[in-house]
Structure 1
Amino acid sequence: MPTFETTARFDRDFRKLTPAEKERFKDTIRNKFVPDVASGQFRPGLRVKPVQGVRLPDGERPIMEMTWAPDGRATWQFGDGQHTGEPHVIWRRVGGHEIFDPGPA
């Protein structure tokens, strides 16, 4: 079972979601993302891909994006595993397309 952590920015974004959006996001994570991370193969409907235009220091894992609703996006990256052999996911942003605007950190 993958482990998870969230950034402060993700937490702020999540609080701004409507109750229906929060439930849809959680349902997508529980029923699609977690099984896909565990299997190592993402289903096409999640549209998982690296975020375009992000420069990272050498050796840092890419920041990924996924689709959880028609205008629902989340960014994340793999972190150091908390349990041997289990993936660890760091949730970075969640919301609509506006999460890709650079804005203040």
Structure 2
Amino acid sequence: MLPGGTHHAPPFEACPRFTADLQHLTPAQRQRFRRVVLDAFVPDLRTGRPFRPGLRVKGVRCAPGVYELTWAPDGRATWRYGRMVVAGEQHIVWRRIGTHDIFTGP
């Protein structure tokens, strides 16, 4: 899902729904999501400081412990912190990805 390349992403897992959602994105949307995650989300996650305002990371009101990441004008992904599996690295569990419509389901 996330490219290897020269960037090292922290450990993550994807819920089955995220994997299914990802297949409905266009190649350009998938590429944009990867770029935002690797160039902004991961670096911000590693600092331990708040995420940059442009990512618009915020909690999902109806799902405590779940966060929303804005990766495009109408591109959203939901995620939560998972149990650490690599010492010193946050573990991310990706839950949903798509347009704002992802908030209509679980």
Q: Tell me the TM-score normalized by structure 1.
A: 0.88
One-letter amino acid of the structure 1 residue matched with residue 52 of structure 2: R
Secondary structure of the 2:28 match is helix
How far did 1:40 drift? 1.7
1:11 aligns with 2:19: yes
Map residues 14-29 of structure 1 onto 2, 5 A cutoff: 14-29=22-37
List aligned pairs for 1:34-45, cutoff 5 A: 34-41=42-49, 42-45=51-54
Kindly state the Cα deviation for residue 14 of structure 1 after the two structures are TM-superposed.
Answer: 0.3
AA partner of residue 53 (structure 1): C
Q: What is the number of equivalent residue pairs in this alignment? A: 97
Runs of 4+ in 1 over 6 A off after TM superposition: none
TM-score of the two chains, using structure 2 as the length reference: 0.87
Q: Does 1:30 align with 2:38?
A: yes
- Say yes or no: does 1:97 pair with 2:105: no
1:53 to 46, 49, 62: 62
The root-mean-square deviation of aligned C-alpha atoms, in Å, is 1.2
Report whether the alignment pairs 1:75 with 2:78: yes
Contact 1:74 1:94 in 2 (8 A): yes
- Unpaired runs of 5+ in structure 1? 57-61
1:51: how far off?
Answer: 0.4
Once residues 7 and 32 of structure 1 are traced to their aligned partners in structure 2, the CA distance between those partners, rounded to angstroms, is 22
Q: Any idea what the Cα deviations from partners look like across 1:9-53, whole Å, max 9, x if unmatched?
A: 000000000011000000001100110111122100001111012
Aligned twin of 1:59: none
